[in-house]
Structure 1
Amino acid sequence: MKFTALTTLFAAGLTSAAPAPNATPSPSTTTDVKAFGLMSLRSASPIHFGTVSASKSNLLINLPEEAQDATCDANVTNNGATFSLRDGALFLYNKDTDEEQQVWVDRSGMGQGNVGYLSGGQGFPRNAELTGWTSTDKGDYSYLNFNGAGLIACPAIPEGSWSIWVNAGVTNPGGSEGCLGFNAMVLPTEEPVSCTYS
């Protein structure tokens, strides 16, 4: 997958210009995005410049390459998932929209900001929210958030990977330890690969 914004970021030398960790960018415009990857930004941390992947109904950062286990219609050159954003709903990109897997959020007391996605035939969790995702421009880049809330990453399995949560006011959701707020940079791609994720 070709993420043109990533190349621009490094070429411009703007790595230190990322927003403060867990800060929600000031909104300037919000748009739908046909196909994009996500890169996590949290300076001086294991998740800085991390790739967001999808596996076993979870979104993760720094997932080992062999663990994503996606079925794609072309070779994938990195371990990142491709997303699509429409009308506040976030999907895992599939050129056949009937096959798209939708991302949900549970910010209830039980869910604490849990993020997951559905595969065919599964029902949504009781407290799932399906819309509220936005791509918000800040300067030359855009960042993903949910109803204005930032994202949190928590250490997960496999070792070295981090699960993604929406900030629901819980510092270490799901009984995790060592969680970190981060910014999710949107990296539009002109050559998306259509996949179905495990």
Structure 2
Amino acid sequence: MAAAAATIATAAPACAAPAAPVTSTISDGDVFRVQTLRSGSDLQFASLQAIKGGLRVNAPEQGSTCGSEVNYASFKLSNGSLFLNTAHPSQQIYVNRSGMGQGIIQYVTGAQQPTKGAEATTFAINDSGYLVFRDQTGEDIGFQACPNALGGGSSIWLEGVTNPGGNSGCIPFTARAQKEDTPEQCSYSQ
């Protein structure tokens, strides 16, 4: 927990935080969406989207099939694994921090296998209510958005690599989890 507090403290100047601490009331299996927080940028109060196997923010549309029109993704946690809120087949989020992956965040559908070097079991919502990725030492790692994703918006990566995948102008942000009272299952593009 001390590492989590230190990470949040160092991220605070760059990212806007709620006026009061947010207490996480999201448990395993609860459905939530993720709001991006970064004051002074177009990331402030945007929502994560799931598009063609990866996560994005500020894309014109995500191309999902839902009961209503939504332009954000819904997620749920299960024992450290992060899933999109879908019917079958499931869609699981993973991170590739290898030299080739450089922290890219993607998802697989059904029986598809993640790329070599994928990590998919250390996502969490920390005590402040933020979605984080925890490395093997237990340190919380935040996220960054890299502009000019194919089709619009910004692609989502873990923090820690400058110019991941050859991208430039990436902006770190805080990922606030917000529980959905009336969740809706969608099918997200692969």
Whether these two folds match at TM > 0.5 is yes
1:186 aligns with 2:173: no
Structure-2 residue corresponding to 1:60: 56
Preserved CA contact (<8 Å) 1:58 1:115: yes
Moved beyond 6 Å, runs of 4+: none
Query: TM-score, length-normalised on structure 1?
Result: 0.77
Alpha carbons of structure 1 residues 54 and 42: separation in structure 2 relative to 1, 3 Å? same
Contact 2:49 2:72 in 1 (8 A): yes
CA-CA distance at 1:31 after TM superposition = 4.3
Deviations 1:147-178 (A, max 9, x none): 0101011012223x0110112x2122111010
- Provide the alpha-carbon RMSD of the alignment: 2.2
Structure 1 gap ranges (5+): 1-17
Higher relative contact order (CA 8 A, sep 6+): 1
Task: Name the CA distance, whole Å, in 1 between partners of 2:125 and 2:150.
Answer: 28
| C-alpha contact 1:37 1:81 (8 A) present in aligned 2 | yes
Identity over aligned pairs, percent: 41
Q: How many residues align?
A: 167
Give TM-score, length-normalised by structure 2: 0.80
* Paired residue type of 2:77: L
Counterpart-to-counterpart distance in 1, 2:108 and 2:117: 14
Report the Cα distance in structure 2 between the residues aligned to 1:36 and 1:174, rounded to whole angstroms. 28
Indicate which of 145, 158, 161 corresponds to 1:166.
158
Aligned counterpart for 1:145 among listed residues 132, 150, 175? 132
Following superposition, the deviation at residue 129 of structure 1 comes to 0.5
- Which residue matches 2:137? none
Q: 2:30 is paired with a residue of what secondary structure?
A: strand
Which residue in 1 is equivalent to 2:40?
44
Partner in structure 1 of residue 65 of structure 2:
71
